[in-house]
């Protein structure tokens, strides 16, 4: 049986790394007594796969995890049970069974929506920077990759960019950034804006799978009767 979980990550626990989160999940699933399927070989590991890594320090409402089980289980109460075992700041907000043929999260997800609290600028300056970026035909950056300088155009990855509202120390932006072939990270975009903006809090609000004109979140790919997509406030 293949299950897909959605969970959030906020507060102090956001300072745990992607690898730490993976280890936290392994322990939590074992504590919950789930019949995890293990890989073969010298060092068998539970067959878990996480989607796009969330940068350390970022918050999220939309993290996903696929877990393979040895046998079918009743999973309707899992969000509650697992949330009780997870650290403060991590809660499971949904779980569905997915077909074993489903694309991995890494392959399937096409974009992420982010909310970014930038500091030290007012709404107007931020709005100008956003407008300049959207008007540009290309946003070329150079970065180091495996010791070599490579140039990248970030513009195709910027699917949407807005100023949402003012905050106490600056303002909040919303951005939808593409993840294929390479996930564009909010920090990269902020660095490339004119003027360069600095983020205080970054929060992933959604991950989207787009196919043609249809767009759905990763839990929605399941055959609907088996879902248990509860909302946890």
Partner 1 sequence: MQAPSHAPHKVAWLFTYPDTYEIGLPNQGLQILYEIVNERDDAVAERSYAPWTDLEAELRQRDMPLFSVDTHRPARAFDILAFNLSAELTYTNLLNCIDLAGVPIRSAERRADDPIIAVGGHCTYNPEPIADFVDIVALGDGEELVGDITEVVRDWKASGRTDGSRENLLRELAQIPGVYCPSLYDVSYDGEFLAEVTPRYPDVPAVVEKRTVADLAEWPYPKNQLVPLTEVVHDRLNVEVFRGCTRGCRFCQAGMITRPVRERPADQVRTMIQNGLERTGYDEVSLTSLSTADYSDVQRVVEETIDDPANCGQVSVALPSLRVDAFTVNVAAKIKSARRTGLTFAPEAGTWRMRQVINKLIREEDLYGAVESAYSQGWRRMKLYFLTGLPTETDEDTAGIAELARNCVKIGKQYNKSASVTVSVGGYVPKPFTPFQWFGQNTVDELHRKIGLLRDETRRAKGVQMKWHDPKATLIEGIMSRGDRRLGPVIEEVWRKGGVFQEWSEHFAYDLWIDTMAKHGLSVDWYVHRHRTEPEVLPWDHLSAGLHKDFLWQDWRDALAEVGLPDCRWTPCYDCGACTGYGIEHIVASATPPAGGSQGTGQDLTGGASVPVTLSPRPSVGSLT
Q: How many whole angstroms separate alpha carbon 72 and alpha carbon 30?
A: 16
- Residue number with CB closer to partner 1 (13 or 201): 13
**Tokens coding 145:** 């990759």
Residue 28 near residue 21 (C-beta atoms within 8 A): no
Segment (H or E) for 161:
strand 158-166
- Tell me the pairing of strands 198-211 and 59-68: parallel
Q: Give the integer Cα–Cα distance in Å for 30 and 96.
A: 19
* Proportion of the chain in helix, strand, coil states, percent, rounded to 5: 25, 40, 35
Closer to partner 1 by CB, 28 or 184: give it: 28
Q: How far is the CB of 69 from partner 1 (least distance, A)?
A: 12
Q: Which is nearer to partner 1, 70 or 132 (CB)?
A: 70
For partner 1, the closer of residues 33 and 147 by Cβ is: 33
Q: For residues 56 and 107, which CB has a smaller minimum distance to partner 1 in the complex?
A: 56
Torsion 51-233-94-67 (CA) sign: positive
- Cβ 66 to partner 1 shortest distance, Å: 19
CB of 18 to partner 1, least distance (A): 12
Contact 183, 52 (CB under 8 A): yes
In the complex, minimum distance from the CB of residue 91 to partner 1, in angstroms, rounded to a whole number: 15
Cβ(161)–Cβ(112) below 8 Å: no
- Does residue 68 sit in helix, strand or coil? strand
Smallest distance, Å, CB 45 to partner 1? Answer: 9
Minimum gap (Å) between residue 8 Cβ and partner 1 = 16
169, 120 in Cβ contact below 8 A?
Answer: yes
Nearer residue to partner 1 within complex by CB, 29 or 184: 29
Q: In the complex, which residues of this chain contact partner 1 (CB under 8 A)?
A: 13, 16-17, 19-20, 23-24, 26-31, 35-36, 38, 42-44, 85, 87
């Amino acid at each position: 049986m293949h299950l897909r979980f959605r969970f959030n990550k906020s507060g102090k626990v956001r300072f745990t790394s992607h690898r730490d989160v993976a280890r936290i999940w392994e322990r939590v699933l074992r504590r919950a007594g789930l019949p995890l399927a293990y890989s073969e070989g010298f060092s068998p590991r539970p067959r878990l796969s996480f989607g796009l890594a969330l940068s350390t320090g970022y918050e999220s409402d939309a993290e996903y995890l696929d877990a393979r089980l040895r046998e079918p289980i009743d999973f309707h109460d899992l969000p509650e049970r697992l949330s009780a075992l997870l650290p403060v700041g991590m809660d499971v907000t949904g779980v569905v069974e997915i077909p074993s043929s489903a694309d991995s999260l890494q392959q399937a997800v096409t974009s992420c929506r982010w909310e970014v609290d930038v500091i030290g600028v007012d709404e107007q300056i931020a709005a100008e920077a956003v407008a300049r970026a959207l008007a540009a035909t290309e946003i070329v950056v150079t970065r180091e990759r495996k010791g070599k300088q490579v140039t990248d155009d970030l513009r195709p990855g910027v699917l949407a960019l807005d100023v949402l509202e003012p905050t106490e120390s600056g303002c909040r932006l919303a951005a939808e950034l593409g993840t294929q072939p390479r996930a564009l990270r909010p920090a990269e975009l902020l660095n490339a804006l004119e003027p360069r903006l600095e983020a205080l809090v970054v929060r992933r609000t959604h991950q989207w799978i787009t196919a043609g004109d249809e767009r759905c979140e990763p839990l929605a790919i399941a055959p609907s009767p088996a879902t248990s997509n509860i909302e946890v406030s």
